[in-house]
């Protein structure tokens, strides 16, 4: 673990370099609109002081949590059915593969038509975006489990649901968790786009509103920065799941 020995210091080098190039580029170009890193930092502090930063972050996280949990609650059982029963796979896989390439952004008009403006539209879009990676990951996880584990369990006369719960599920769990991590990453990408259209809060709204209401590009970039940080933290949480004893075996060796 590189963080263990050297702390966060190696991370700071590239970031400092990026800020320096950014600052010099803005100054040299003489741009009146594009902010320097310092202006972005000031904008960020402003937002935080007014309580807007927290409000938007919470609004975005709330929608992601709802849409993502709904997606997981449906995608994981459906993925397991597809992975375990050939008939379920034959029936559902064409649907999944056909709907999966449609960007959630393309669903925005329909989302507004069905759910109006409000929280439901972005939640629906997040649901769509994270559903497919989790279905595909879960189905693949179940389909590719090493048959020797099933064979050993059959030898101990495990059948039906007991076999599924005791062997198939734990054997597929690492890939299910990986699918969940990808699903959350995509959900966080999509919430920003969804909030630019259907609602009046959240980080996506912050960005589009800052631009529309007076070309406040310092706040636009501040919003982007916060999106990056929160997404990074969400991924760290999901990576933590991959270190649990129940799934770690798959990533080692």
Among 177, 179, 175, 159, residue whose Cα is nearest residue 167: 159
Task: CB nearer to another protein: give 55 or 250.
Answer: 250
In contact, 176 and 135? CB cutoff 8 Å: no
Minimal distance in Å, beta carbon 155 to another protein?
5
Per CB under 8 A, which region of 107-115, 127-135, 179-187, 239-247 contacts another protein?
239-247
Among 174, 245, 218, 191, residue whose Cα is nearest residue 56: 191
Task: CB nearer to another protein: give 153 or 203.
Answer: 153
Binding status of residue 164 toward another protein by CB under 8 A? no
Number of helical (H) and strand (E) elements in the chain, helices listed first: 13, 0
Binding status of residue 249 toward another protein by CB under 8 A? yes
Write the DSSP assignment of 167-215 as a string of letters. IIHHHHHHHHHHHHHHHHHHHHHHHHHHHTTS-S-SHHHHHHHHHHTT-
Minimal distance in Å, beta carbon 178 to another protein?
15
Choosing from 72, 171, 221, 222, the residue that interacts with another protein (CB under 8 A) is: 171
8-state DSSP, 252: -
Minimal distance in Å, beta carbon 162 to another protein?
10
Residues that contact another protein, how many (by CB under 8 A): 22
Binding status of residue 173 toward another protein by CB under 8 A? yes
Minimal distance in Å, beta carbon 150 to another protein?
9
Binding status of residue 250 toward another protein by CB under 8 A? yes
Measure the CA–CA gap between 151 and 159, rounded to whole angstroms: 11
The gap from C-alpha 253 to its chain's centroid, in whole angstroms, comes to 27
Binding status of residue 246 toward another protein by CB under 8 A? yes
Opening angle at CA 65, ends 228 and 8, nearest 5: 35
Query: How many angstroms separate the most distant Cα atoms in the chain?
Result: 76
Binding status of residue 91 toward another protein by CB under 8 A? no
A 10 A CB-CB count for 60 gives 27
Binding status of residue 247 toward another protein by CB under 8 A? yes
Choosing from 37, 170, 185, 231, the residue that interacts with another protein (CB under 8 A) is: 170
Question: What are the residues whose beta carbons fall under 8 Å from the beta carbon of 171, sequence distance 6 or more?
Answer: 145, 146, 149
Binding status of residue 177 toward another protein by CB under 8 A? no
Measure the CA–CA gap between 41 and 38, rounded to whole angstroms: 5
Minimal distance in Å, beta carbon 91 to another protein?
26
DSSP H or E segment with residue 93: helix 86-99
Binding status of residue 29 toward another protein by CB under 8 A? no
Contacts with another protein in 140-159 (CB under 8 A)? 146, 148-149, 151-157
Task: CB nearer to another protein: give 173 or 187.
Answer: 173
Residues at the interface with another protein (CB under 8 A):
146, 148-149, 151-157, 166-167, 170-171, 173, 245-247, 249-250, 252-253
């Amino acid at each position: 673990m590189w963080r263990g020995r050297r702390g966060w210091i190696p991370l700071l080098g590239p970031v400092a370099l990026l800020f320096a190039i950014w600052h010099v580029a803005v100054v040299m170009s003489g741009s009146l609109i594009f902010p320097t890193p310092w202006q972005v930092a000031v904008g960020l502090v402003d937002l935080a002081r007014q309580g807007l930063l927290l409000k938007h972050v919470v609004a975005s996280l709330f929608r992601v949590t709802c849409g993502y949990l709904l997606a997981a609650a449906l995608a994981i059982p459906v993925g397991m059915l597809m992975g375990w029963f050939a008939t379920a796979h034959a029936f559902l896989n064409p649907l999944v593969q056909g709907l999966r390439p449609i960007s959630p952004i393309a669903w925005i008009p329909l989302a507004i038509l069905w759910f109006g403006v409000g929280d439901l539209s972005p939640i629906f879009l997040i649901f769509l975006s994270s559903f497919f990676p989790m279905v595909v990951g879960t189905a693949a996880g179940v389909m590719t489990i090493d048959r020797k584990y099933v064979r050993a369990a059959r030898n101990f006369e495990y059948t039906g649901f007991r076999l599924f719960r005791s062997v198939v599920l734990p054997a597929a769990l690492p890939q299910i968790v990986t699918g969940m991590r990808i699903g959350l990453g995509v959900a966080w990408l999509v919430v920003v786009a969804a909030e630019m259209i259907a609602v009046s809060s959240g980080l996506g709204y912050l960005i589009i509103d800052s631009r529309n209401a007076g070309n406040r590009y310092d706040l636009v970039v501040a919003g982007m920065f916060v999106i990056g940080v929160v997404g990074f933290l969400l991924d760290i949480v999901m990576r933590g799941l991959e270190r649990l004893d129940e799934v770690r075996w798959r990533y080692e060796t």
